[in-house]
Amino acid sequence: MKFFLDTGIVEEIREAAKWGFVDGVTTNPSLIAQTGRSQSEVIKEICDIIDGPISAEVISTTTEEMIQEGQELAKIHPNVVIKLPLTEDGIAACKVFSSEGIKTNVTLCFSVNQALLAAKNGATYISPFVGRLDDIGHDGMGLIQEIRALYDNYGFNTQILAASIRHSQHVRDAALVGSDVATMPYKVMKLLFKHPLTDIGLEKFLADHQKSLNK
């Protein structure tokens, strides 16, 4: 499973890049707004740090404007993936980008039928929002599992990008149900290292080593 960072904060991306397993980055208008910088400036900087797919979301709402905005975003760097909302206009724009060989990430997916539409129009990635479904008492990870079955049934190449990941259990479950990618906040990625027995074990190894030196 590929790991994407879900952030616009370049300091976090720089830190996580040192770990060696960050495959890409996703952003959205809310994450970019938190940086207080322009989207193109942030995306350009991220592309210099991570050599992988970097999702930049359009804020236009009509197909025509999304195409125009997406084409501008795609000029920033060859790794830029155009993020489109799962609306009639977004799905139509997805078809245009796929036929031009421009990579897309269809976002705000909350149902199997929506995932089917994105795959039919050649989306590179579909982003089902696990955490936001859980928030309203639905089964977010169940949706990932169903989309996996759907795409495998028909041999769709669209990659499932588990989004709205809130904790490390979501990452574990996304991997076990066969999600292609999980995008997560920096703090969740950092938590993946953590196990109390690792800390206790290391402390003892180091203490025993120190004792042996003092003998």
Q: According to CB under 6 A, which one of 2, 77, 120, 132 is a site residue for ligand E4P?
A: 132
Single out the catalytic residue among 2, 75, 83, 190: 83
- DSSP summary character for residue 155: T
User: 165 CB contacts (<8 Å, ≥6 apart)?
Assistant: 6, 130, 131, 171, 174, 182, 183, 184, 185, 188
Q: From the CB of 209, what's the least distance to ligand E4P, in Å? A: 42
For position 39 contacting ligand E4P by CB under 6 A, the verdict is no
User: Binding ligand E4P by CB under 6 A: which of 97, 129, 151, 156?
Assistant: 129
What are the CA-CA distances from residue 160 to residues 32, 56, 76, 114, 146 (Å)?
Answer: 23, 17, 25, 12, 11
- Minimum gap (Å) between residue 202 Cβ and ligand E4P: 32
3 touching ligand E4P, by CB under 6 A: no
Residues 6 or more apart in contact with residue 97 via CB below 8 angstroms? 67, 70, 82, 84, 103, 104
- Give the nearest residue (CB) to ligand E4P: 164
- Does residue 83 carry a catalytic annotation? yes
Contact positions vs ligand E4P (CB under 6 A): 6, 26, 28, 107, 127, 129, 131-132, 163-164, 183
